[in-house]
Amino acid sequence: MITHPLAGVYVAAVTPLKEDYSPDLEAIPRLLKFYAERDCHGALLLGTTGEGPSFSPEERKDIWGAATKIREEHPEFRLMAGTGSPSLEETAAYNKLAFELGFDAVVTLPPFYFRTASEDGLFTWFSQIINRSVPGDGWLLGYHFPKVSGVPLSASLLKRLRDAYPEQFGGLKDSSGELAHAKTMVDELEDRLVLVGNDSLMTENLAYGGSGCITALANLVSPDLRQIWDTFALGEPDAEAQQRVDSARELLNPLTPFAASLKGLLPKLTSLPQWAVKPPLMPFAEEALEEAAQSFKELLPYFND
């Protein structure tokens, strides 16, 4: 189990939006408080579940700025910013902004438009990003999500970044969904973070020396994910909690995109309000949400308190 300072359980946060698709800035600290009080170590803002690529630079600034208010009540709550675009300059600007606001790390997509870029090209791109925008006390994590970005981050590329930037390259958010891939990354990156994006891999990732997770489903099952984390640290991983997480993942898997389904499920399961999704995403079908919400209530005891 890696003892990196940012290891832990992270939620891929949804982004509260008003009906006109503008960010609901007052709701963001309330949402993060909900996550903090449901045992998350921190949150990723404007990742895939947060609809990150849908927002302008000014909207990102406002959203990230609102998120920092969580530290007035929960000063130890960690913040990560989802960044990355095909533009080197734009990505560097996003990273600089996030660190200036006090974020702990950025989770950076590769330049996703250029799907045939060479490893040398990607290394040069990430090197420029780190040199221009990641301070000595900040961390950049690569975001490996080839199903969406179309640009995989190879083990050899990540090792080169680790060796070239030992103080700034923090590791990987691995959204491949494959245990074998996560294990390879743990082996190759040694003391760097490998945070899985699939909750069903949580216990096994920790057993292989991984660092935790950043997941969409943590919006709903973070108490169980934290239970797995805490009991694993004590040498007695909670298999029942992992089984609940696995079953919850099976319930959520058909409800894609998760940004839309989670925004529909949260008000049915918690006191959080209904928030809009930003086009091209559309609200999820009400009938499917009602059925899923009932299944989650039957499965997860903390929705019946």
Question: So where are the chain's domains?
Answer: 8-303
CA distance 236 to 294: 31
List phi, psi (to 5°) of 215.
Answer: -140, 155
d(CA 68, CA 78): 9
Terminal CA-CA length for the chain: 32
Which amino acid is located at 60 in the chain?
R
pTM: 0.96
Pairing mode, if any, of strands 139-144 and 105-108?
A: parallel
Q: Which residues of the chain have pLDDT under 50?
A: none
Catalytic entry in 48, 49, 91, 203: 48
In eight-state DSSP terms, residue 17 is: B
69 part of the active site = no
The pair of structure tokens assigned to 214 is 């950043």
Residue identified by tokens 């990354």 is: 185
Q: Measured between alpha carbons, how far is 196 from 124 in angstroms, rounded to an integer?
A: 25
Which pLDDT belongs to residue 82? 98
**Which of 49, 143, 183, 203 is an active site residue?**
143
Q: Mark whether 208 is an active-site residue.
A: no
Question: Of 163, 158, 85, whose CA–CA distance to 173 is shortest?
Answer: 158
Assign domain 8-303 to its CATH superfamily: Aldolase class I (3.20.20.70)
Known catalytic membership, residue 173:
yes
C-beta atoms surrounding 124 within 10 Å: 13
Q: Count CA within 13 A, CB hemisphere, residue 236.
A: 1
Crossing angle of helices 27-37/218-233, nearest 10°? 30
Q: How many helices (H) and strands (E) does the chain have?
A: 12, 8
Query: Per the omega criterion (within 30 degrees of 0), is the bond before 16 cis?
Result: no
Candidate list 113, 124, 147, 256, residue with the active-site label: 113
Q: Which of 15, 91, 94, 173 is catalytic?
A: 173
Distance CA 226, CA 244 (A): 13
- What is the C-alpha to C-alpha distance for residues 91 and 148, in angstroms, rounded to an integer? 18
pLDDT of residue 1: 58
